[in-house]
Structure 1
Amino acid sequence: MAGVTEHCDFPVQAQTKAKVGAFGRPVLSKILALKPGLVLADAVLHKNIADELRNAGIKVIAFTPESVSDIFFIMNEIARFCGVEAAVRPVIDLLKKRAERLNRKPGHKRPRVFRLMNADPLMTPGPGSFQYDALQTAGAQLMVFQTKDPYIEVLPEQILEFDPEVVLFCGVAKGQPPPPKCKGCIAEKLICRRTVDDIRSKEWEQITAFRENRVYPVSCHTICRPGPRLIDGMEKLHHRFFKLFMQ
């Protein structure tokens, strides 16, 4: 591994590698200076810089997974390119089995869950995102949309009608130290530092999740990043849903 973005923190060795800018704004010159043999990129977010890297003769694997199974496919593609497919296959197979095990567990209620990504405007994962698939696999009943968009802006009245029993938001628990601001981050209000009080409002208080104190912060690595830790996050959420709504 030659370099990473400021947001790359797993495995721990990644934190010591050269930084090429923020995940949302990588710097082309810094990437080129590392002379990489392979660059991993997001097919949508990094389209322009990926094209420039390809024009410079650098191999780029660009992807935007729409499901958990897409993530496993991408892992295999990376391993194949690096010539370690046989060594990595058992690791990927184990991750697959853990995800499949969640899908097969019957016998408990699927709670109505709303995943709040942004509050202004109100944004949530849509059916075209791996987050939507991961939450469903973990046991959540999500809002139904007539679109395959990966991220969807919703209206307050839609949330009130859905009446989620659980709300998962980007942020931290009350009293928990806020994470440091990533280098290159230009946001004025960091959603990763929000607490439940920051999103509480008269409208939110009308829904079951707020009335019954089932509003939980989730860190980025729990459900937002398409890697091995996603399966850990899915298992934790599945366990939480089961404990809350055991029947």
Structure 2
Amino acid sequence: MGALRTTLLSWTTALLLAATLAPAHAESSITIPDDPCSSEQPSPALHRAISLSPHLTELIYAAGAGHYIVATVSSSDYPEPAKTIARIGDGITLHPERLLHYQPDSILAWLPGSTLNALQPTLTRLDIALLYSKPLRLRDIPQEIRRLGWLFNTRDIACPVAQQLDDRLDALAQRAPTDNTPVSIYLELGHDPIYTIGNDPLIHDVLATCHAQNSYAHSMVAAPQVLPEELLRRNPDVVILSQSSPLTQQERLHYGQQHQLPAALDNRVYGISPDLLYRPGPRLIDATEQLCGYVDRVRADRHAAAQHGKSPAKP
């Protein structure tokens, strides 16, 4: 759990820094067009990329350019072909000589770090593009795919994929809630100790898409620790666990029931893989659809209770 928390803390910190695929410096030789799918601006046609984040690996594959990744980090495990790519570490500790060994024409990273900052002059001299990707909204994900399609000259694949994701987001946005009472979500990241996601823009956008809200949205800590009595006081409608193991899910459900947590007593404890929910790649839209389904169940139960003259669980 310690490794997961470290990853999530780094992730939420990165999301507060900046958004979308962008050059490391304004003077970069690569300027990505605002509308990559219709732009006539010539593509740099990159073909030897190093991906320093699992979400970027997923985005590059979605853009039809996975075969151009020459090296990546140990946590890049999706899609299946990504497991065969050469590894260069964990993405946090980087060795410049290993990066340059693969003779990349581009390095795509999640957030700046001391190694990449120090390496920038060398990369500029060698004409190696350094770009960062930090989606802050769900809509940034298909747009990143479009930009990657332009960078790697795979727009014929990337643009239709991005449009399909946008269409799915449109469908989610058009789902009107049956009532205006908020549905509160508690996202459990770990249980020894118990901690959750605090004020995070991307998770906020995911929940807003589902007409829901984070029980700990007002916390200024990226991953605040949670006390059982505080969770009872907040009384979330739904509990989302950061894994989908049936055994662990049952254990956490039983724990919540022991503490008389209404969401657990009503069997509203669900598991979503952290690789889907906490990686800002295409699969986050899968997780959003899944989460919206759980929110819809709450609203359906409220509607059924109202139809039968029963008081809903929350005012």
- Runs (5+) with no aligned partner, structure 2: 1-68, 304-315
Q: Using the alignment, how far apart are the partners of 2:93 and 2:202 within structure 1? A: 22
TM normalised by structure 2 equals 0.61
Q: Using the alignment, how far apart are the partners of 2:93 and 2:194 within structure 1? A: 23
Q: What is the CA-CA distance between 1:208 and the residue it aligns to?
A: 1.5
134, 151, 173: which one aligns with 1:64: 134
In structure 1, the partner of 2:174 is: 104
In structure 2, the partner of 1:241 is: 295
1:86-105 aligned at under 5 Å gives the runs 87-105=157-175
269, 272, 275: which one aligns with 1:215: 269
Q: What is the CA-CA distance between 1:36 and the residue it aligns to?
A: 1.6
Distance 1:113 1:245, change over 3 A: same
CA displacement, residues 40-71 of structure 1 (integer Å, 9 cap, x when unaligned): 2111xx52233244233132211322221233
Q: What is the CA-CA distance between 1:224 and the residue it aligns to?
A: 1.0
1:41 correspondence with 2:113: no
Task: Judge conservation of contact 1:196–1:216 (CA < 8 Å) in 2.
Answer: no
1:143 correspondence with 2:215: yes
Seq. identity, %: 23
In structure 2, the partner of 1:77 is: 147
Q: What is the CA-CA distance between 1:196 and the residue it aligns to?
A: 4.8
Give SS of 2:214's match. Answer: coil
Distance 1:220 1:25, change over 3 A: farther
Output the aligned Cα RMSD.
Answer: 2.9
Q: What is the CA-CA distance between 1:168 and the residue it aligns to?
A: 0.9
1:153 correspondence with 2:224: yes
1:9 correspondence with 2:72: no
Distance 1:158 1:3, change over 3 A: same
1:93-242 aligned at under 5 Å gives the runs 93-108=163-178, 111-119=183-191, 122-143=194-215, 145-146=217-218, 151-156=222-227, 157-175=229-247, 195-197=249-251, 201=255, 205-242=259-296
1:21 correspondence with 2:75: no
Q: Using the alignment, how far apart are the partners of 2:164 and 2:221 within structure 1? A: 27
- Runs (5+) with no aligned partner, structure 1: 176-193
Q: Using the alignment, how far apart are the partners of 1:36 and 1:158 within structure 2? A: 50
Larger Rg: 1 or 2? 2
TM normalised by structure 1 equals 0.76
Distance 1:69 1:53, change over 3 A: farther
Q: Using the alignment, how far apart are the partners of 2:186 and 2:243 within structure 1? A: 15
Q: How many residues align?
A: 226
Q: What is the CA-CA distance between 1:85 and the residue it aligns to?
A: 3.8
CA displacement, residues 83-137 of structure 1 (integer Å, 9 cap, x when unaligned): 3345422221221121121122013465321111234565433443312311331
Task: Judge conservation of contact 2:198–2:221 (CA < 8 Å) in 1.
Answer: yes
Q: Using the alignment, how far apart are the partners of 2:273 and 2:99 within structure 1? A: 27
Task: Judge conservation of contact 2:186–2:236 (CA < 8 Å) in 1.
Answer: yes
Distance 1:167 1:202, change over 3 A: closer
Give SS of 1:172's match. Answer: coil
Give SS of 1:107's match. Answer: coil
